[in-house]
Chains A and B, each alone.
Chain A
């Protein structure tokens, strides 16, 4: 008898011709997560369309659950017992599995399948034999199990296949989404606030490989603000096969130029237009095709539809805003689940508040913004900003400049 985790993938099954591509990628990602987990090494097994992860000992289960819980594309993780294809072995295993799932008794149903048609019992007979055995063994010792045939809450599954028999009951939810690497490439603007890490996570969830873009304005922003972003990146990297690149763009000269040349209330608008231009440049240089941001509608002045319209105008790349329909509370809840909330609320300046105008323009006009920008040497400012920038690779273990 040995233990395994069966990986169930949901949506991937719908992909038809691409199915193999996705499954291969998912298996790769699972293998990477296992290798990085610190647990003893093992190979992911794929037989007949099933993805199985060997479990070397019971004590590993919580750690395995945690690491596999961060692999996108997994619908559910099912702890499975594998045993020989003999009825007594199957019965004993089934009892054990049921007792682990329902230690205090309860209602259940046995469902059996056999793909090995040479097995002597038919599926309904297997179910009866297993259920009968369980009732025999447990009726005397005070833990009560009852059969529930209609809408059973717990289903004890028995599968008799060619190579072995499998028994399982219940599963843990996976992170769902699509495997990282199947969705293309994009950049995400990471500010260090509460919202943008959640947006980054939602990008990764649909299989998009992201690189982060952050704007620093030293000395107007503290180096601690940048460190905060790198810490967030390290946390997010755990969902993207352990690696997240962070481009820290030196934004100081651009901020100063805008502050000197443009009327105060358009400061934020013009600044955001530059940020989007720079994000697009970074995307292009890394084969990215979209820009993700943590914007939602209506939270701050730059997030009215008028502002979005004027700011978005600088790029033709899709600007994706996963949080656009979320309330602040919902975003905060997600951030707490993700573990990024505590880091995000550390009080270090990001570059948006030192030059904050007293009355930012909530409904900017495109023609006005464009006219103001004419005074600025846009390309030169952008080239200089990118030249003075640094790129880091964030992993759960630390960050490295590259």
Chain B
């Protein structure tokens, strides 16, 4: 049975050339970049190259890139780091209500240290309410953290406008953007957008898990989470994950080169999928539908009359792999997606939602087949659950 992998927002398959490079660095060029001999230098060179590739992609300088183990570490470094560093100026932080848990939980953890944060609300499509921004900024606010693309519904956040709104109140506010879902999939220039810190995760980009980076604008500091041998300019000690970093660099380069082509493919897959779903009634998209308001890779759909985890398993038996908005395991409020709740969706709607996320490796044939599978599986499940519409 054919497997159709529509969960690329969760993680992606590593591309062959990216995997080969990592393997090569593991088996042949396994030198420690800090070693004084040529073998070490060669490894260091690869890391340097990756850094330069990545910096170029976002309009940054190589020394502004710190390699980390992934989005979570980068988010932790940025949010905790800035708040601790700027504690004398202020202890208040603003984050959107749809941030990833690695930002959300870090903010919560900071409450224990007498910091404070507020949630910037979103509208019914998951986009931040810009008008609320100036009102939320307090004299003691030091950081605003908003993601570039929301991972559950694909909403694009208006980062440029956010920066303007922040500047209209005060110029020295810092802006952190979690770009885990957006990097490599859309043009991104940190200077144009006025971004001070940017988090990226490699495994969303066809690079291995355990890779990522944090962009820190020159002149700004974050206290290192890991202290030790002084790697990454002292910002992140620990022998560099050379295979991972080189893989990430190559994956980023390929993403940059193929950005347009990949986007076109993904849009085709998405359209074919939506087209195929026309044969089914009782469903709607959660999130923005206006063009340019969403990243086409991510599609969140509410199916009336079903429970998402059950449908997920049914689709799984047919080879289609997707993500659910809630696990029916706990009939507890907390198991519902906080993103969908922030968008004020009803409980029944959240419990019936699935996320489909595409990569350029998906095909329109897969999209057709996936839509077919859904049209076949949903009606009998609705019947069984007797929940109607």
Question: Among the listed B314, B317, B328, B384, which residue makes an inter-chain contact with A349, where contact means beta carbons less than 8 Å apart?
Answer: B328
Tell me whether A353 and B331 are in contact in the complex, defined as CB-CB below 8 angstroms, given that A219-B310, A222-B309 are known contacts. Answer: yes
- Tell me the B320-341 residues at the A interface (CB within 8 Å): 327-331
- 10 pairs of A and B residues whose beta carbons are closest in the complex: A219-B313, A347-B329, A219-B314, A349-B329, A219-B310, A348-B329, A347-B330, A256-B384, A220-B310, A218-B313
- Tell me the A213-241 residues at the B interface (CB within 8 Å): 218-220, 222-223
User: Can you sample 24 A-B contacts with CB below 8 Å?
Assistant: A218-B313, A219-B310, A219-B311, A219-B312, A219-B313, A219-B314, A219-B316, A219-B317, A222-B309, A222-B327, A222-B329, A223-B313, A256-B384, A259-B386, A260-B384, A347-B329, A347-B330, A348-B329, A349-B309, A349-B328, A353-B331, A354-B307, A354-B310, A354-B328
**Who on chain B is nearest to A349 by CB?**
B329
Scoring B309, B314, B329 by chain A CB atoms within 10 A of each residue's CB, the highest score goes to: B329
Measured between alpha carbons, how far is A353 from B327 in the docked complex, in Å?
Answer: 13
Interface string of B340-355 (1 = CB under 8 A from A): 0000000000000000
Measured between alpha carbons, how far is A223 from B328 in the docked complex, in Å?
Answer: 13
Q: Are A222 and B313 in contact (CB under 8 A)?
A: yes
B residues in contact (CB < 8 Å) with A: 307, 309-314, 316-317, 327-331, 384, 386
List of B residues within 8 angstroms of A349 by Cβ: 309, 328-329
Min CB distance A48 to B, Å, is 58
List of A residues within 8 angstroms of B316 by Cβ: 219
- Chain A interface size, as a band, is 10 to 19
Interface string of A44-61 (1 = CB under 8 A from B): 000000000000000000
List of B residues within 8 angstroms of A223 by Cβ: 313
Q: How many A-B residue pairs have CB under 8 A?
A: 28
User: Interface residues of A: mostly helix, strand, loop or mixed?
Assistant: loop
**Who on chain B is nearest to A223 by CB?**
B313
Measured between alpha carbons, how far is A347 from B316 in the docked complex, in Å?
Answer: 21
List of A residues within 8 angstroms of B329 by Cβ: 222, 347-349
List of A residues within 8 angstroms of B309 by Cβ: 222, 349
**Seed contacts A219-B311, A219-B313, A219-B317; 5 additional CB < 8 Å A-B pairs:** A219-B310, A222-B309, A222-B327, A348-B329, A349-B329
List of A residues within 8 angstroms of B327 by Cβ: 222
Measured between alpha carbons, how far is A354 from B327 in the docked complex, in Å?
Answer: 12
Measured between alpha carbons, how far is A222 from B327 in the docked complex, in Å?
Answer: 10
User: Interface residues of B: mostly helix, strand, loop or mixed?
Assistant: helix
A residues in contact (CB < 8 Å) with B: 218-220, 222-223, 256, 259-260, 347-349, 353-354
**Who on chain B is nearest to A346 by CB?**
B329
Measured between alpha carbons, how far is A85 from B317 in the docked complex, in Å?
Answer: 72
Measured between alpha carbons, how far is A275 from B386 in the docked complex, in Å?
Answer: 23
Scoring A219, A220, A259, A348 by chain B CB atoms within 10 A of each residue's CB, the highest score goes to: A219
List of A residues within 8 angstroms of B312 by Cβ: 219
Measured between alpha carbons, how far is A340 from B54 in the docked complex, in Å?
Answer: 49
Min CB distance B28 to A, Å, is 37
Measured between alpha carbons, how far is A220 from B329 in the docked complex, in Å?
Answer: 10
Measured between alpha carbons, how far is A354 from B308 in the docked complex, in Å?
Answer: 12
Min CB distance B110 to A, Å, is 27
List of A residues within 8 angstroms of B386 by Cβ: 259
Tell me whether A259 and B384 are in contact in the complex, defined as CB-CB below 8 angstroms, given that A219-B313, A220-B310, A222-B309 are known contacts. Answer: yes
List of A residues within 8 angstroms of B317 by Cβ: 219
**Who on chain A is nearest to B386 by CB?**
A259
Measured between alpha carbons, how far is A219 from B331 in the docked complex, in Å?
Answer: 17
List of B residues within 8 angstroms of A260 by Cβ: 384
**Who on chain B is nearest to A255 by CB?**
B384
Scoring A223, A260, A349 by chain B CB atoms within 10 A of each residue's CB, the highest score goes to: A349
Measured between alpha carbons, how far is A211 from B178 in the docked complex, in Å?
Answer: 52
Measured between alpha carbons, how far is A256 from B316 in the docked complex, in Å?
Answer: 20
List of A residues within 8 angstroms of B328 by Cβ: 349, 354
Min CB distance A184 to B, Å, is 37
Measured between alpha carbons, how far is A347 from B317 in the docked complex, in Å?
Answer: 22
Measured between alpha carbons, how far is A222 from B317 in the docked complex, in Å?
Answer: 12
Measured between alpha carbons, how far is A353 from B307 in the docked complex, in Å?
Answer: 13
List of A residues within 8 angstroms of B314 by Cβ: 219
Measured between alpha carbons, how far is A348 from B331 in the docked complex, in Å?
Answer: 11
Measured between alpha carbons, how far is A220 from B385 in the docked complex, in Å?
Answer: 10
Measured between alpha carbons, how far is A260 from B328 in the docked complex, in Å?
Answer: 21
Measured between alpha carbons, how far is A218 from B314 in the docked complex, in Å?
Answer: 8
Measured between alpha carbons, how far is A128 from B327 in the docked complex, in Å?
Answer: 72
Measured between alpha carbons, how far is A348 from B312 in the docked complex, in Å?
Answer: 15
**Who on chain A is nearest to B310 by CB?**
A219
List of B residues within 8 angstroms of A220 by Cβ: 310
List of B residues within 8 angstroms of A256 by Cβ: 384
Min CB distance B91 to A, Å, is 35
Min CB distance B344 to A, Å, is 26
Min CB distance A104 to B, Å, is 44
Measured between alpha carbons, how far is A353 from B309 in the docked complex, in Å?
Answer: 14
Measured between alpha carbons, how far is A260 from B384 in the docked complex, in Å?
Answer: 7
Min CB distance B231 to A, Å, is 38
Min CB distance A145 to B, Å, is 54
Measured between alpha carbons, how far is A347 from B327 in the docked complex, in Å?
Answer: 10
Measured between alpha carbons, how far is A188 from B134 in the docked complex, in Å?
Answer: 63
List of B residues within 8 angstroms of A218 by Cβ: 313
**Who on chain A is nearest to B317 by CB?**
A219
**Who on chain A is nearest to B384 by CB?**
A256
Min CB distance A216 to B, Å, is 11
**Who on chain B is nearest to A225 by CB?**
B329
Measured between alpha carbons, how far is A219 from B329 in the docked complex, in Å?
Answer: 12
Measured between alpha carbons, how far is A325 from B224 in the docked complex, in Å?
Answer: 57
Min CB distance B123 to A, Å, is 32
List of B residues within 8 angstroms of A353 by Cβ: 331
**Who on chain A is nearest to B315 by CB?**
A219
Measured between alpha carbons, how far is A353 from B317 in the docked complex, in Å?
Answer: 22
Measured between alpha carbons, how far is A218 from B309 in the docked complex, in Å?
Answer: 11
List of B residues within 8 angstroms of A354 by Cβ: 307, 310, 328
Measured between alpha carbons, how far is A365 from B316 in the docked complex, in Å?
Answer: 40
Min CB distance A344 to B, Å, is 14
Measured between alpha carbons, how far is A219 from B307 in the docked complex, in Å?
Answer: 11
Measured between alpha carbons, how far is A347 from B328 in the docked complex, in Å?
Answer: 10
**Who on chain B is nearest to A256 by CB?**
B384
**Who on chain A is nearest to B335 by CB?**
A347
List of A residues within 8 angstroms of B330 by Cβ: 347
Measured between alpha carbons, how far is A281 from B327 in the docked complex, in Å?
Answer: 33
Measured between alpha carbons, how far is A259 from B384 in the docked complex, in Å?
Answer: 8
Measured between alpha carbons, how far is A354 from B309 in the docked complex, in Å?
Answer: 11
Min CB distance A224 to B, Å, is 8
Measured between alpha carbons, how far is A256 from B330 in the docked complex, in Å?
Answer: 21
Min CB distance B312 to A, Å, is 8
Measured between alpha carbons, how far is A72 from B317 in the docked complex, in Å?
Answer: 43
Measured between alpha carbons, how far is A218 from B329 in the docked complex, in Å?
Answer: 13
**Who on chain B is nearest to A350 by CB?**
B329
List of B residues within 8 angstroms of A219 by Cβ: 310-314, 316-317
Min CB distance A343 to B, Å, is 15
List of B residues within 8 angstroms of A347 by Cβ: 329-330
List of B residues within 8 angstroms of A259 by Cβ: 384, 386
